[in-house]
Structure 1
Amino acid sequence: MTHRQVLEALSGLLLGMFVSILAGTVVSTSLPLIIADLGGDQAAFTWVVTATLLATTVSTPIWGKLADLFDRKLLLQLALSVFVLGSALAGFSQDPSTLIGFRVLQGLGAGGLAALSQIVMADIISPRERGKYAGLFGGVMAVGTVGGPLLGGVVTDAFGWRWNFFIALPVALLAIVLLQRTLHLPKRARRRVSIDYLGFVLISGGVSLLLVWVTLAGSSFEWASATSFTMVAGALALLVAAVFVELRSPDPMIPMTMFRDRTFTLSVVASLAVGVAMFGTAVFLSQYMQLARGATPTQSGLLTIPMMAGVLIASSVFGSLISRTGRWKAVMVTGSGLTIAGLLLLSFLHYDTPFWYVGGAMFVLGSGVGMVMQNLVLVVQNAIEVRNLGVATSAVTFFRSLGGTIGVSVLGAVLGHRVSTDLGANIAALPVDQQLVAAQTLASGTIPHISALPEFLRVPVEAAYGTGVGTVFLCAVPLAVISLVAIVFLPRIPLGTRTAQQRLADGDRPAESDAVVHPEEPTHADDPVHTDGPVDGTRATTQVPAGVAADAAARGDEATPAGRTAGGA
């Protein structure tokens, strides 16, 4: 495909991604206000976020498996429709429970969009060329993530928070039409459909039970209690049973053999930590801005711009650099280091931290996430067999969502405990008459409207949330360190120059066997043939005798390295 054809094919895909990001982020700045209006507490706030992530996490491998079996374009449109339907219904919520239910439906569609967009990209763009288009995806992510909270704040202040769930409908309809008109995927050979229903039930049940335990422990029951032990034991039993079923299934939901690939396994480990950094920061930074700094939803959206600017700039600049040089590992190691630095800087947050410091720390963290997040998927798609492309892509996205879901749940519990402890100590320092008023004001346990609090109570509440959010970021640092270690040990497999469909047509040969031959510079008898270097991304040179190369090219022989080079070229 030419550059123009690729851009046309990506137009509907990018708009669909923009809608999904916009519908997810547009409520982030107004979520504290939404929960307060619906009478929810900190647990409800966490569950509204967790419900979407949980549904996204559980459904992602299912969408990935379906992508290997059915029409990917139709699945993409279906996922977008489900997502928008869930968003629209959420606008009619009357209490936290109904909002959580509709957010689950929203998450089911989001799981499909997250996995399928990456899979479709691999179909039409080679790993080596994909970096130059990463800027487009980074731009869409940045505009949706920055513009969403800002737009959500303006809409909330002007029309009310319910309109946050409705504004994506016309854009989504346009995206579905545009996908139909512009995205033309190559026809794939038909496969006999075989869905591993038992594996799906066991994986979904085990992951869901684990996440429900993480969310409820510490609030509904103690961490060390009979209920906790029962839920953990049940979740582990279901997941162990899932492994046995997947090992014996003829067409497993998540092929266990993929974990033999070191690139895939280490990318999964790194994705868990990236998920915490990506989802956790978005959730808790909005709470910090509104509950610790007294910002309105609109101001909260503006104040998070440095984070998304870091994502946009890093993904665009370093994506182009990877396409030009083929070197990806140094970029990802640097990004992991920046992620650790950003989290450490944000761990010092207080209710009166200077905004220039907060903005700088968010920019550092955003840059790190932008350099790592998309490239983890790229590295896996480059190394894995094409027949497992959908499953592998969705698996990386699945574990990223899983890390984010567990991270938000655990960190939400940490925040609730820290806020409760600090708030009690802060109120105890007030005069007795003010303590009585504070007790009556905060008796419901719901998230307060900062602007409606008495003046003497605002600083104790803001101070509690300020230090609480700082503690949350400190708790995320060890996971970021694990991500760095995993990326350091990733094998340096050079990026391939063929799309997934081309690799499939060539017998699903691995990316490292790609030949790089420029059409305008034909290979002559005595010229060296260049192939991607095996270790550092440089080009290794191999002399191919004229007769061997010609004979191998004539018969399509791939039995020897020389034959592979000529045939691949």
Structure 2
Amino acid sequence: MTRSLYVGVFGLLLGMFLAMLDGLIVGTALPTIAGDLGGLDHLAWVVTAYMLAGAATTPIWGKLGDLLGRKATFITAITLFLLGSGLAGLSQDMSQLIAFRAVQGLGAGGLMVGALAIIGVLVPPRESGRLQSMIGIIMPIAYVGGPLVGGLLTDYLSWRWTFYVNLPIGALAVLIIATRIRLPPAERVKPRIDYGGAALLTVAIVALTLLATWGGTTYPWPSPQVLALATVAVLALVGFTAVERRTVEPVIPPRLFSDRNFTLAQILSFLVGAAMVSVTNYLPQYMQFVQGASPAAAGMLLLPLMFGMLGAQLATGQLISRNGRYRLYPILGGALMIAGALALLLLDADTAAAAASALTLVIGVGMGLVMQSTTLITMNSADSRDMGAASGTLTLLRTIGGSLGIALLGTLYASRMQADLTARLGQDTTSQLERGGEFTPERLPNLPAPMADAVREAVSSGLHGILLGAAALAVTAFAASWLIRETPLRTGIPSQTGAATDSHAADRQMNALRASHRRTPLAHNESVGPRW
């Protein structure tokens, strides 16, 4: 691969980094934003609007890239993201901020999927391990660095700079992509947008996100509101499936799921997304409440988890590029996720901070192994015509997994913590503690010693609920990973005329040819797949 290609990929990585970072960078600025703009009761929507818009548009951006051109679509997405960033920084009230965060999310939905689709077309899966490793680097950095950067910008500049900081970085990304990315010529097709499928998918995602956000918190699970949302989600998904089977250019082509490995990769992506987002969001609360760490220090205590993910993804990409084998890595990753989640159950109110930090390493390595291998499996399982839709599906399921995981496991966290507090302090004291605004890490040292100890124990109990849920997700992922088949990775760049290419049929023909000529084995460097 040429130096120019690496520079172009760096531009793609900048765009992806902005999308992931902005989902987290605002978190530490939210109290300051509420004090400046008011609207405390709508504060959660500053995050939810961004995630909801991004999740709903991810597969649509992927399909638009397949139909209209991936480079132009990616540049359009990042431009929309930057527009939303600038407007969010200029917001004068909470309603404006929520609306502009949704605009940001609309653009962010195309950044991850667009970058993966462009890389999938430029570089064959067998040779893309190093590039995928570069992608793997930015995700843990964004998850841990987001709160740190947000806190620093808010403390030393203004909360508005959590949005303004995107503008110079995004402009650099656009410049690099425009000048350095050169895609192979694609077959000219008449765009046929699947409006019905896109609308139904959006309705389903909105209903599922609201269900996960409101269920058990704003409204009880058996309430009419939650049941109505569940009904809408099911009907929309059923309708979406029916429309996708009939339309000419579906948003998520059903033919993708005829490949066993592709389907399994999406299941694993959903599960690891749920575990990763839940653990990385609730471990910092333990570090602050129980270990007494500041927000910045809590992020630092998660460095073993971040470097575990980073190292695993780098090593996996290198090893898969070297020998073309990948089935071992999701299996090993699932096992390490189980071991890591169970090891973290050792955390309690008496655990030393250094030990608590070190224990996060194992689950980080497991997540990295699963995430890297599922990305490569997805890219290897899709034809060029479906590369955008395939990467969009992968990103969508990982995002939905994270949203549902943090909502459902978060409910478990809150219920266990409240039950533990009530058992130790009584209902009246617990209610007074929550209503009085004393339930914050900063004010914990000022509480009476018995009450502070009860809070630490309750937070530890709540974290154990998260970890048990993560362990259950890891067990499911471990079981599913055994069903993956070791299909040879492509060694050539896919043809842009995807409609005329059937990679799996070609693979079967080549395997049959090899079986009939066993006396004339292939040379070591010959491809066992089709010649692209």
Per the TM superposition, whether the score is higher than 0.5 is yes
Q: Give the aligned partner of residue 327 of structure 1.
A: 325
Kept in 2, the 8 Å contact 1:346–1:361? The answer is yes
Deviation of the 1:17 alpha carbon: 2.2
1:508 to 496, 501, 504: 501
Q: For the residues of structure 2 that align with 1:378 and 1:92, how far apart are their CA atoms?
A: 40
**Matches for 1:210-249 after TM superposition, within 5 Å:** 210-249=208-247
Which residue among 456, 465, 469 is the counterpart of 1:471? 465
Residue in 2 aligned with 1:156?
Answer: 154
Partner of 1:527: none
Larger mean CA deviation between 87-96 and 68-77 belongs to: 87-96
Aligned residues of 1:202 and 1:241 also touching (Cα < 8 A): yes
Matched letter for residue 359 of structure 2: A
Tell whether the 8 Å contact from 1:414 to 1:472 is kept in structure 2 after alignment. yes
1:526-541 matches, within 5 Å, as none
| Superposition deviation, residue 188 in structure 1 | 0.9
- Tell me the TM-score normalised to structure 2 length: 0.88
Shift of the alpha carbon at 1:118?
Answer: 0.7
**Alpha-carbon offset, residue 71 of structure 1:** 2.0
Which residue of 2 is the match for residue 12 of structure 1? 11
Counting only pairs closer than 5 Å after superposition, residues 85-484 of structure 1 correspond to structure 2 as: 85-91=83-89, 99-428=97-426, 435=429, 442-443=434-435, 448=440, 450-451=442-443, 454-456=446-448, 457-484=451-478
Q: Is contact 1:153-1:299 (8 Å) kept?
A: no
1:28-39 to 2 correspondences below 5 Å = 28-30=27-29
Greater C-alpha Rg? 1
Encode CA deviations 1:482-517: one digit per residue, 9 max, x unaligned: 2222221012111110123x47489424179579xx
Measured after TM superposition, the shift of residue 210 of structure 1 is 2.3
| Residues 21 and 145 in structure 1, CA contact (< 8 A), matched pair in contact too | yes
**Structure 1 residues 73, 151: CA separation in 2 closer, same or farther (over 3 Å shift)?**
same
Q: 1:40 to 1:217 in 2, by over 3 A?
A: farther
Which SS does the other structure have where 2:189 is aligned?
Answer: coil
Q: Quote the residue 1:553 is aligned against.
A: none
- Aligned equivalents of 2:31 and 2:345: distance in 1? 21
The sequence identity of aligned pairs, in percent, is 36
Could you tell me how far apart the structure 2 residues matched to 1:362 and 1:266 are? 26
**For 1:447 and 1:110, how far apart are their aligned partners in 2?**
34
d(CA) in 2 for partners of 1:37, 1:475? 37
Higher alpha-carbon deviation: 77-86 or 406-415:
77-86
How far apart are the structure 2 equivalents of 1:361 and 1:128?
A: 33
> Amino acid of the residue matched to residue 390 of structure 1?
G
Structure 1 position 320, deviation (Å): 0.3
* Selected match of 1:77 from 70, 75, 78: 75
The question of whether the paired residues in 2 share the 8 Å contact of 1:347 and 1:472 is answered with no
Aligned residues of 2:25 and 2:146 also touching (Cα < 8 A): yes
Higher mean Cα deviation, 19-28 or 217-226? 19-28
Distance 2:335 2:94 in 1: 38
- Give the Cα separation in 2 of the matches to 1:201 and 1:127: 32
Residues 495, 511 of structure 1: 8 Å contact kept: no
Q: Are the equivalent residues in 1 in contact too, given 2:378–2:390 (CA < 8 A)?
A: yes
Displacement of 1:237 after TM fit?
1.4
Residues 492, 531 of structure 2: 8 Å contact kept: no
Measured in 1, the distance between the counterparts of 2:527 and 2:351 equals 60
Tell me the equivalent position of 1:521.
none
Could you list the runs of 5+ residues in structure 1 that have no partner in the other structure?
516-530, 546-562
Contact 2:342/2:468 (<8 A) preserved? yes
Distance 1:509 1:75, change over 3 A: same
Long gaps (5+) in structure 2: none
Cα 1:446–1:415 change in 2 (3 A) is farther
- CA 1:390–1:505 in structure 2 vs 1: closer, same or farther (change >3 Å)? closer
Query: 1:121 Cα deviation (Å)?
Result: 0.6
Q: More displaced, 408-417 or 157-166? A: 157-166
Kindly provide the amino acid, as one letter, of the partner of residue 491 in structure 1: R
Asked if the contact 1:291/1:462 (under 8 Å) is kept, the reply is yes
SS at match of 2:359: helix
Distance 1:204 1:147 in 2: 30
> Kindly tell me: are residues 258 and 135 of structure 1, through their superposed partners in 2, closer, same or farther at Cα, counting changes over 3 Å?
closer
**Kept after mapping to 2: 8 A contact 1:514/1:568:** no
Per-residue displacement from partner, 1:416-453 (whole Å, max 9, x unpaired)? 22333333334339xx9xx4xx7556326796363477
Contact 2:212-2:403 at 8 Å conserved across structures: no
Over aligned residues, Cα RMSD in angstroms? 3.5
**Structure 1 residues 338, 17: CA separation in 2 closer, same or farther (over 3 Å shift)?**
same
Query: What amino acid is the match of 1:16?
Result: G
Which amino acid counterpart does residue 249 of structure 2 have in structure 1?
D
Q: Distance in 1 between matches of 2:405 and 2:34?
A: 20
The residue number in structure 2 matching 1:498 is 492
Task: Give, in whole Å, the separation in 1 of the partners of 2:502 and 2:289.
Answer: 54
Query: Residues 493 and 512 of structure 1 are in contact (CA less than 8 Å); yes or no, is this contact kept in structure 2?
Result: no
Name the CA distance, whole Å, in 2 between partners of 1:147 and 1:70: 34
Query: Do the aligned partners of 1:13 and 1:179 also contact (CA within 8 Å) in 2?
Result: yes
8 Å Cα contact 1:274/1:403 also seen in 2: yes
1:78–1:261 CA distance, 2 compared to 1 (3 A): same
Cα shift at 1:564? 10
Counterpart Cα distance in 2 of 1:503 and 1:332: 30
Query: In the alignment, is the contact (CA less than 8 A) between 2:5 and 2:180 conserved in 1?
Result: no
Q: Give the drift of 1:99.
A: 4.9
Give the 3 Å change call, closer, same or farther, for CA 453–166 of structure 1 in structure 2. farther
Aligned to 2:531: 568
- Rounded to whole Å, the distance in 1 between the matches of 2:371 and 2:99 is 29
Cα distance in 2 for residues equivalent to 1:475 and 1:267: 20
Report deviation, 1:543.
5.4
Counterpart contact for 1:46–1:408, Cα < 8 Å:
no
Task: Return the offset for 1:460.
Answer: 3.5
**Maintained 8 Å contact 2:186/2:496:** no
The secondary structure found in structure 2 opposite 1:69 is: helix
Q: Per-residue deviation at 1:196?
A: 1.1
Q: Would you say the 8 A contact 1:35–1:44 is kept in 2?
A: no
